[in-house]
């Protein structure tokens, strides 16, 4: 088994490096190489299956049992679900999502005993990908400040921009405190439900619902799509009814666990809020500040990606009538570019511009996360403890 695993690792490294090179050169992952990677996986899987068959026939001493293959399929389902979430939440373009699925699928074939396989390997891999990218990006941004002509002015400007960004992010204004309180009550309701399900469910469902990190993952990356739901009146009414039923039933049937579950839920809300603030809001601001350029209508081209701030602006602007609802990280299409050009030309301002994020090839970090998983067989959070 070791010989086959080392051979596949060598092929995997050559294939991964070639994709990283293409992404660095053109900010695109060729679809033909994704197909090549899928065929490579299929070939190696067939080899492993043949070895398993030979092992059950008594021809070789070391082989994978048939139980491995359904678990591998389950891992693929988790990885594909995560990739779709990352694409739909506009974190990755489609090419990066496909690359991630193949990378994730390859890890158990290289090391069938890899940690967290099958249910949580995708999450461990994502931690390695995003933590390594964040450490490098934020570290590089801070270093560029110290190497600037006037570091004090640089960080003063960053702090002013950060406060302005936070003000728009938090939605301050009339009734802001009530909205914040409603948001906290609504999100606490979700984590309280998670605690109840984890206690009452049995078998795999119990293990699944007890993993708060899974809930953190989907909420974190889908927040731009679903965050507004937790501020809606409908959700507030549902929450109010639930709390009334929860405290009434809890008083009579599970009084000893009533407050304990609520405290755990509130603690998880605090953790998630910190994760959302530092992991998404702060990181998004710092990373995009360095890579955002402001272009005139004549400079806009199909395939360009709007900054997060301007992407939110065009989606929320009723003038565009939903034309940017499907504005993913694959970039703007020709029709969307024409709409923005027409809109900018009609603005009563001198030299109108819109923010665009320069290409940030992410295949490098997906591949780096996979190498960290293979070499250390842990995620970076555990390594940094």
pLDDT along the chain (385 residues), means of 10: 82 95 87 94 93 90 91 95 86 90 95 89 89 77 70 68 56 54 79 78 61 79 76 79 85 79 85 72 68 85 80 81 68 85 86 80 90 85 55
In whole angstroms, what is the distance from residue 83 CA to residue 227 CA?
Answer: 19
Same domain, 301 and 375: no
Is residue 337 domain-shared with residue 218, that is, in the same domain? no
Q: Same domain for 283 and 303?
A: no
Residue 144 lies in a domain: no
- Give the predicted TM-score (pTM) of the model: 0.75
Same domain? 233 vs 302: no
Which pLDDT does position 173 carry in this prediction? 47
Is 62 within a domain? yes
Asked whether residue 86 is assigned to any structural domain, the reply reads yes
Residue 256 burial (CB < 10 Å; 0-12/13-18/19+)? exposed
The pLDDT value recorded for residue 167 is 55
Predicted local confidence at residue 233, as pLDDT: 75
3-state secondary structure of 118: coil
Residues 115 and 31 placed together within one structural domain of the fold:
yes
Which position has the token pair 């993952």? Answer: 217
Is residue 164 within 8 Å of 281, Cβ to Cβ? no
Beta carbons of 89 and 222 less than 8 angstroms apart: yes
Find out whether 294 and 307 touch, Cβ atoms under 8 Å.
Answer: no
- Which is it for the CA torsion 302, 133, 31, 87, positive or negative? negative
Same-domain check for residues 195 and 252:
yes
Residue 110 domain-assigned?
A: yes
What is the pLDDT at residue 174?
Answer: 43
State which of 237, 254, 289 marks the end of a domain. Answer: 289
Q: Is residue 93 one of the residues assigned to a domain? A: yes
Q: Which domain holds residue 238?
A: 167-289
């Amino acid at each position: 088994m070791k010989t086959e695993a080392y051979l596949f690792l060598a092929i995997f490294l050559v294939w991964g490096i070639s994709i990283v090179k293409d992404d660095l050169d053109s900010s695109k992952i060729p679809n033909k190489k994704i197909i090549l990677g899928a065929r490579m996986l299929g070939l190696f899987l067939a080899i492993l299956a043949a070895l398993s068959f030979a092992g059950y026939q008594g021809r070789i001493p070391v082989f994978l049992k048939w139980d491995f293959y359904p678990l591998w399929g389950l891992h693929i389902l988790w990885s594909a679900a995560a990739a779709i979430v990352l694409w739909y939440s506009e974190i990755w373009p489609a090419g990066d999502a496909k690359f991630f699925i193949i990378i994730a699928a390859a890890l158990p074939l290289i090391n069938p005993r890899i940690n967290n396989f099958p249910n949580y390997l995708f999450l461990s891999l994502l931690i390695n990908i995003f933590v390594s990218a964040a450490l490098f990006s934020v570290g590089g941004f801070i270093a560029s400040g110290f190497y600037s002509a006037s570091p004090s002015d640089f960080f003063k400007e960053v702090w002013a921009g950060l406060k302005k960004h936070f003000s728009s992010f938090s939605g301050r204004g009339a009734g802001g405190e009530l909205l914040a309180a409603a948001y906290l009550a609504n999100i606490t309701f979700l984590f309280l439900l998670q605690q109840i399900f984890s206690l009452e469910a049995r078998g795999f469902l119990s293990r699944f619902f007890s993993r708060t990190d899974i809930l953190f993952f989907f909420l974190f990356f889908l927040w731009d799509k679903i965050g507004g739901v937790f501020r809606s009146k409908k959700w507030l009414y549902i929450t109010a009814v639930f709390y009334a039923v929860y405290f009434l039933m809890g008083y009579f049937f599970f009084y000893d666990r009533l407050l304990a579950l609520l405290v755990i839920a509130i603690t998880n809300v605090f953790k998630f809020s910190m994760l959302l603030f530092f992991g998404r809001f702060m990181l998004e601001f710092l990373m995009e500040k360095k890579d955002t350029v402001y272009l005139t209508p004549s400079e806009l081209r199909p395939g360009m990606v709007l900054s997060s701030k301007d992407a939110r602006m065009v989606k929320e602007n009723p003038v565009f009538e939903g034309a940017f609802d499907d504005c993913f990280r694959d970039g703007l299409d020709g029709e969307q570019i024409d709409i923005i050009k027409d809109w900018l030309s009609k603005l009563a301002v001198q030299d109108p511009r819109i923010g665009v994020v320069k290409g940030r090839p992410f295949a490098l970090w997906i591949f780096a996360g996979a190498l960290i998983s293979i070499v250390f067989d842990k995620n970076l959070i555990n390594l940094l403890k």
